[in-house]
């Protein structure tokens, strides 16, 4: 079985649609999972939340429950390398290509600083934490990340913090609506950030399915 974990429902949704013979399960209140097949590979999928400690604790429960032979962490990441374009997908099999931060690296200046410190082309909030859990379970980890924001862009984290629940990895439309009712001028800034993400997710899903197809089929 191949395990695939995502930080958020939005990042996972297109991949979950691709699952055949899909059966949902909930391992705990905030850990929805699905089991199914893609290209004759048996797949388990989980949404583990954004950043620490949620992603590590729920990946632990996920691996305790599902007999996973290979684990994949998939989702979006911020570019630190200025040559990376939005939508590009980076695959990391333990080569240290992705920096992990506890919070969103929101500004172009902070991205440049982290690039100088880490030498990594990308930053996310989960890779190092999920990797530690995978190592504990002696499970190989493949990280698949798509660039959601370039090195020169500032992320509207002040608005995003009101539109997403990091612990559950779900949108919070009521909370966002109340914020925008008083800060309607921020709507354009939010939409400019969000508009390309469906296309980024589509590219991420295609690469993820391709990588899964390359893995050995345990049933044959």
Q: Is residue 42 part of a domain?
A: yes
Residue 58 near residue 30 (C-beta atoms within 8 A): yes
- Domain hosting residue 131, numbered range: 2-151+196-214
Q: Is residue 183 part of a domain?
A: no
Render pLDDT for 135-156 as a digit per residue (tens, 0 to 9): 999 999 999 999 999 999 998 7
Q: Is residue 170 part of a domain?
A: no
Q: Is residue 135 part of a domain?
A: yes
Q: What is the DSSP string of 20-55?
A: EEEEEEEEETTEEEEEEEETTEEEEEEE--SSTTHH
Total number of domains in the chain: 1
Q: How confident is the model at residue 220 (pLDDT cuts 50, 70, 90)?
A: very low
What pLDDT score was predicted for residue 29?
77
Q: Is residue 160 part of a domain?
A: no
Q: Is residue 174 part of a domain?
A: no
Q: Is residue 15 part of a domain?
A: yes
Q: Is residue 220 part of a domain?
A: no
Render pLDDT for 69-84 as a digit per residue (tens, 0 to 9): 999 999 999 999 999 9
Residue 102 maps to which CATH number?
3.40.50.1580
What pLDDT score was predicted for residue 156?
77
Q: In the chain, what percentage of residues exceed pLDDT 90?
A: 67
């Amino acid at each position: 079985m191949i395990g695939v974990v995502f930080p958020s429902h939005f990042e996972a949704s297109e991949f979950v649609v691709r699952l055949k013979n899909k059966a949902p399960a909930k391992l705990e209140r905030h850990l929805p999972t699905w089991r199914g097949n893609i290209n004759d590979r048996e797949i388990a999928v989980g949404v583990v939340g954004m950043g620490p400690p949620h992603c590590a604790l729920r990946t632990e429960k996920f691996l305790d429950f599902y007999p996973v032979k290979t684990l994949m962490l998939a989702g979006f990441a911020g570019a630190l390398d200025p040559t990376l374009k939005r939508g590009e997908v980076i695959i990391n099999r333990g080569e240290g290509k992705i920096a992990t931060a506890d919070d969103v690296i929101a500004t172009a200046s902070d991205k440049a600083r982290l690039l100088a410190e880490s030498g990594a082309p990308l930053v996310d909030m989960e890779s190092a934490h999920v990797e530690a859990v995978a190592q504990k379970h002696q499970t190989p980890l493949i990280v698949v990340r798509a660039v959601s924001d370039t090195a020169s862009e500032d992320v509207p984290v002040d608005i995003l913090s009101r539109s997403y629940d990091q612990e559950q990895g779900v949108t919070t439309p009521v909370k966002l609506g109340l914020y925008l009712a008083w800060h309607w001028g921020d709507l354009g800034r939010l939409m400019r950030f969000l508009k390309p993400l469906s296309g980024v997710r589509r590219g991420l899903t295609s690469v993820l399915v391709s990588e899964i197809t390359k893995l050995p089929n345990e049933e044959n």
